[in-house]
Each structure stands twice: as C-alpha cells, then as structure tokens.
Structure 1
Amino acid sequence: MTADQWIALFAGIVGGALRVGVPFLFVSLGECLTEKSGRINLGLEGVLVLSAMAAFGGAYWSGSPWIGVLIGAMAGAVLALLHGLLCSLQGVNDVATGIALMLLGTGLAFYLGKPLIQPQAPQLPAIPLGGWSDSTVVQAALQINALLPIGIVLAVALWWAFGRTRAGLLVRLAGDSAMATKALGYSVNGIRIAATAAGGAIAGLGGASLTLFYPGSWNEGISSGQGLIAVALVIFARWSPLRCVGAALLFGGAGAIGPAMQSIGVSYGYHLFNTVPYVLTLLILVITCKPGAVATGSPGELSSAR
C-alpha cells in the first residue's frame, strides 16, 4: 500500500473508533453501574434496540434529535426498571430475566418500529475535529458524535461518584455485601432497582447514537449484538468507568477495520474483518473468566453464589 493509503486506513480506523465506540461506551457504562450494585442485566441488547427505535421515532415526530435522545434514554430506563423490579422478587434469576427482557425489548422495537424503517429523522450534529488537517480523509474521519463528549464526562462522573459520594458508595456496598447494606439499614433492592434503571437510561443514550448519528437510520439489525458485547467489555474494563472509555474505543476501532480496509480498495476478506469485535469478545472472556477464579474488581455479590 502507498503512504496515502496507510494514512487513509489509520484515519478510517481512528474515526471508526470514535463513531462505532459511542454505543459501546454508553452501554458499558450503564452495565458498569448496574453490576456495581450487584445485579447483572443481560437484557441490555433489548434496551439498546428499543431505545434506538424510540429515539429515532421521537426525533422523527418531534423534529428534534435531542428530544429523540431524551426519549431513547427514557425507553431504556423503563425497560431496565422492569428488569430491576422483576429481579427483586424472591427466587427470580437475574440472567434468565435479562434474556427474557432482551427478547421483549427487541420484539417491541421490531413491532413498533416497522413504520420507521423508510423515513429519515433529524440527526445529531457532528463536532469537527479535523480542521487542523488539509486532508479530506482526516477531516471526514474526525467528525465525531456530539454524544461522545457527554459519554466521557459521564464516565469521569461515575468514577468520581463511586469513590467520593454517598450514593456511589452505597451502590458499591450493595454490590459487595448485601448483608452489610441491610445491617446499616439500607434497602438492597431499592439501591439495585435505582442503579439498574439509571444504567438503562445511560444505555439508552447508546441506542440513540445508533439511529441519530451512525449509521443514522432505523432497521431491525441496527445493534448487531453490541448490547451483549458490552457485558464482556465491562469485565475487560474491570468494572471501572474510566477503563470503559478505552475499552469502548478499542472495540469501536476493531469494528471499523473492515470498512476502513474497504475504503482504500481492499475488499478481500471484508466480511472476515467484520468479525473482529466478536472474536475479540471471545478472547477476552477466555482470558479473563477462568474457572474457580474471581476477576479483579468484580463486585462481591456477583462472584458469590446467590
């Protein structure tokens, strides 16, 4: 390849990481908050798809992408709240409920979103970061989602809250020891329900970014399993909101390799390159999830038999 092709490839991967990584960022932050409270939400795929449809519909009918973002976050919060309420019942399993909610969320989105497949909704504005370069390739690659800075600020806020605020410490306490939380007079179920709903709202922002920025349309295959991948991403990030930023960009860059290769004329193995995020997910799970071992940073209630 020529020097220009290498530059275009690098710019395409970096730009793709900034675009494709945004849904990963929000969904992983939402799951990080949920798991910090001691609950797993495998229904995030359903949350992501339902919020993507709701955000697109809200933007289409209101004429404002930001109203669509708000509606997407609300849809994610409602579905996650249902998960939290069901899991607070005696004898209900988090994993089984999450799978059921995933099916419910995707089913609702596919049914309610059929009239939205053809229309175009107003899109979120792009922030141009490539003005320093004369290259049109670099300029196009560095058109970033307006939600990306919000996601980074949110990651820093969660990191700060977990270590410095009463609410954050209570979430961590509920995730590490339910008995200690009860002994201090706090409701474990109440904390977990609130954290799960808030996590769903954050994940809903990721759904909004799918339909209101990249790829910027609604269809039934919009997610491609990103909600499920985000669960592995949280493990990879060791339940740290700040590490979720780097992990999301890593996965976003992995997902951008195929399109970046095609943009410079390399079409051989294009579909193989598109499998990189899924292969990376499997590798992370194999490396980090060893039988009989507890992953570093894992909330105590997740690693205990419940």
Structure 2
Amino acid sequence: AKVLHLSKEDNTVIAVPLFYVTGLLAQLFLFIYLGGTTYIMREFHTRDLLQLIEEKEITFFHAATAIYNILLQAKDREQYSMRSLKMALCGGAPISRSSIRKLIEWMPWLDFRTVYGLTESSSPATIFPHKRIFDKQDTAGIPIPVVELKIIDNQGNQLPVGEIGEIALKGAVIVPGYWNKVQETQQTFKDGWLLTGDLGRIDADGFLYILDRKKDMIIRGGENIYSSEVENVLLEHPKIIEAAVVGIPDPVMGEELKACVVLKPGECLTAEDIQDWARAFLAKFKAPRYVEFYDCLPRNANGKILKAALKTN
C-alpha cells in the first residue's frame, strides 16, 4: 500500500479469479487492509468492466497482460470515461512496447506499471517506476522495499550485474514453503531464498529483466534462445496481438522454434511474413522455423499462456 501510495479513499475492481494471488492478495486483501472498496466481477466482459470503471469511478486496477490487450482491442473503449483511474498494474506475462504506448495514448494521465511476482512471493516482488516507462520498457522494475533479489548460477552462486541466471527472492512477503510437501520445499527454498525457476538479469541501475522460465528456454544447436526475446519482436508487428514461442524436438538441432501467433481482427499474414519480420530484428538462428496461427492462445485462469499445451499441439 505504501509503495503504491493507496489509501482507504481508493477503490478497485477485480477482473481475475480470486483463487490466484493477483485477485486474492494483490487486490482483495490489499483493500481490506486499506479499508477501501472492492468490486468483484462474476465474469469478465470487456464492456462490463469499462462501464464499471466509469460508473464506480475506479481508481486502481490490477490485471493480467491479456486483459489489457483485450481492452485495447475494444473499438468502443473511447465511449467510456476512464478519468477516475489513477494507477494500473500489469503482470503475469510481458506486455509489448506497442501495447504500453497505446495505453498511454488512451489514458495519458495513468500511472501504469508492470510488476513481477509469484504465488510464493504473496504479491508483486518487483514494480516498475512509472517515470522510467519509456527508457526501461522491457524490464520488470526494481524490488519492493521488503524484498531482496539476486541472480544465481546452477550452483547457487550470485552472478554479477548483466549476467543471466535464475532469479532468487528473499524477504518478509516470501512464503516459508509448501504445505505438507517437504521435497518440493527443499528443492525450491534454499537458505531463506526462493528459487523462482525464472531466468533473468539485473542491469547497472538495479532493474530486473525477465528472460524465460528455465524449463522454457530453447536450446537450438547448442545455442540458448530465450523465448521472450523472440516474442517481443513478434509482438511489435502491427498485425500481431498475441505471440508465444516454444521449442519442439528436432533430430538435427535438438530443438527448433515454433511461433504460435494470434492476428488482430481482420488482419492477414503468412508464415513467411512472420519469419521475415523475425529475421529483420534477430539473429537468423532465432527466427522461428515453424509458425502456427490461433484464434486465441490457451491460458490458465490467471491469464498465463500454457506453453506445454502449445508444445504438444
């Protein structure tokens, strides 16, 4: 609450399930603590959300990237007044630069921030300072005051600034372990540190960059490829609304890249168009060999893309 400068005068609407940390802790429990007002949507519908924000003069909103992308696709969004909305947080998956630009164009007064956290961190562990929104767009921000963060190698050694490794978190908001799961607790929690399973790096200013899940990193011909790097390039294409990149088995290279893409309504692209776009911005070996088109990408109830389903499709 102190980090976000919220008070009992603020209110929020929960548009995500309450059985996930975003809805339960980062909104409901936060506003119970504040004494503020919380509105809970039974189901998510774009117009219902926009109407509720306008009618109830919502001041704070927190949702998954997918919801922001859906709002940006709503052709009638300008009909609703968003002037009451002071702050909006976005997490669960990276949001593209183009989406951030469109949000700021739509609501130039909005304090929009990306956050990074896990169920095990109880709430966002890092938060993006709004004043750096245009010069640090690809980062997850800096740790909140009660969280320590470091990057470690496979042996648990802390890595220097700029090097890629596993993100480890420590602090008052980190859970002590898993209920009745001793083995999983021992594997994930080491000397008070939560091993997140996420790969990232920290820059000289202390900003965290999320690169991939360890299990989702693609190794093609001995080269490590971080799916987020390729996804960010694809999401900059003006005709693409969603993209996910996964590795699929290949008898020669070990793994090859497959891009799973959702086009904006009414748009048309070929696989070759997408591959050419990727090659224009990435090293040749990072361009996806395969492209699949989807009406929508499979997601869990919290909005995260289910990459395992894309790999087996």
Q: TM-score range by the shorter chain?
A: under 0.3
TM-score after normalising by structure 1: 0.24
Structure with a larger share of its residues in strand: 2
TM-score after normalising by structure 2: 0.23
By relative contact order (CA 8 Å, sep 6+), the higher-ranking structure is 1
